[in-house]
Each structure stands twice: as structure tokens, then as C-alpha cells.
Copies of this chain bind each other. A is one copy, B any other.
Amino acid sequence: MENTERPLILVTNDDGIFAPGIQTLAQEMKAFGKVLVVAPDKPQSAMGHAITIHNFLRLRKVEFMEGVEAYSCTGTPVDCVKLAVYQIIKGRPALLVSGINHGSNLSINVLYSGTMSAAVEGALEGIPSIGFSLMEYGIDASFVHTRAVVRSVTANVLRHGLNNGCCLNVNIPAAAAGPLKGVRICRQAPGHWADAVECRHDPAGHDYYWLKGEFIAKDQEHDTDVWATSHGYASVVPVQFDMTAHQEMEVLNTWDHAL
């Protein structure tokens, strides 16, 4: 690819390289720089920060979009980031974007999300990284209204950078929710999944189980991503990979730790 002065932008996702969301994201990134796509060869939703250590990985160069170099990968979203950085680029891109996910990654779903784990892996590598999610699961979801959000957040990150150890989790309401009111900086809402298992019986009469469940947001304070997206805003949560509960260290130091 020509123009080596343009910033290199790595694009990945967890819905697989043939999902519509990653097409929209790669198209928008062409305005900002040279685009490299490395994405899973099949859906990898809910893979969290999984990496492949008991099997090998393959990369395959694929036709994706004019002017865009693209590879499908047999692994997880985090595997894709590692192969892109250490095998294909052999260096760090100027930006990593992940998505646009088909479905919400609000609240604690940042932990389960392959989309966001790819962005967190980018942050671990010192790459400014953003995960984008559309709050609509359908394969025929409209991504048109997401483009302005993608452009705005991306331009900001390229202009201002992100502090070390931090990436962004961007969630965009479905088109059917009406025109976007804007972008809000939020914290991750507390919440959890309730009633998460359905038992069925196979033709031989043996039990098998599907995870399912209903997501329960625990509060609706106005600084949370759940509140923002249910009130017409795109939410932007700064996400860090330091999981230390620093405020608890003092408490734990009051315990008797004799062995």
C-alpha cells in the first residue's frame, strides 16, 4: 500500500470478518489512515479476554474492501490483536478499533465482550484503542447513524490520545430509538445477568443447558452508560486494565494474615 505517511489503523471485531459492522467501521477508518483488518473467521462473541494456547492459529489473506489489507484468523479477538501486532505489523498501529459490535456491550458486559477485550488488549500494548457497539443484534441492523459517532470519537482519540492503560467503550443506541442526542462520557453501570440457564432434554432424554438470562442494571444514575443509552445518547466509558480494587487494600491490611 502506498502513502506510508498515513497512520496505520488496525480494525478487528468479535462477530467475524464477514459481519456488516466491521465493514462500516473499516469504511470510516479509510478517511483517517491506512486500514489493516485482522478479524476472526467466525463469530467469537462472549469470548472475553480468551487467548488460544492449546492450539495453533492460522491467518488467511482475504478480499475485504478496496484499498484495505485484510486477514481472517482462526482465533479469538485477542488472538487477532496479538497476531496483528507481533506477526503482521511487527510494531504498533496508531490506532486500534474494534466492532462495530452487533449488540450492546454496556455495564459489566465489558467483561464478556470479545469486542472490548480486543480494545483492552490494544491498551495493554500501548495502542490507543476503541470498541464500538450498536445496541441491535440483527444482521440487517442499520449502521448509518453510527458513522457520525465513530468519526467523532476516532477524531478525538487521534487528536488527544488516550492515557496509558485506558481504552474506550462506545455504545450506540439502535436507529429505531430515534435521532441521537449526542455523546456522553459515562461510568460502567452496575448490573448482572439473572436466571442464566435453561435446561432442555435431548432425544435420548439427557439434560443439556443453554445460557440465557435477563440483564438487570442495578441503578439508573445519570452518569452510567445504561442511563445514557436509554435516554438517546451514545455512551463513552473509559476502561482500564488495572482491576485492582485500590480502596480495598487498606481494609484487607487490617486482617490477621498469620500463616
A residues contacting B by CB (< 8 A) are 43, 45-54, 56-59, 76, 78-79, 82-83, 85-87, 108, 110-112, 117, 120, 124-126, 148-149, 152-153, 156, 160, 162-163, 165-166, 168, 180, 182-183, 185-188, 190, 192-193, 195-197, 199-200, 206-211, 213, 223, 236-246, 248-249, 251-253, 255-259
A59 to chain B, nearest CB (A): 7
Inter-chain pairs besides A49-B50, A57-B208, A120-B243, 12 sampled, C-beta below 8 Å = A47-B50, A48-B117, A49-B111, A51-B112, A86-B196, A156-B256, A165-B190, A166-B248, A188-B243, A190-B242, A223-B249, A238-B251
A202 to chain B, nearest CB (A): 9
Chain B residues within 8 Å of A87, by CB: 197, 199, 209
A-B contact pairs, 15 of them (CB 8 A): A45-B53, A46-B53, A57-B209, A58-B206, A59-B209, A82-B211, A86-B213, A111-B117, A126-B192, A163-B251, A166-B245, A168-B252, A185-B257, A188-B242, A236-B257
Chain B residues within 8 Å of A163, by CB: 245, 248, 251
Given A183-B259, A253-B185, A255-B160, A192 and B48 contact (CB-CB distance below 8 Å): no
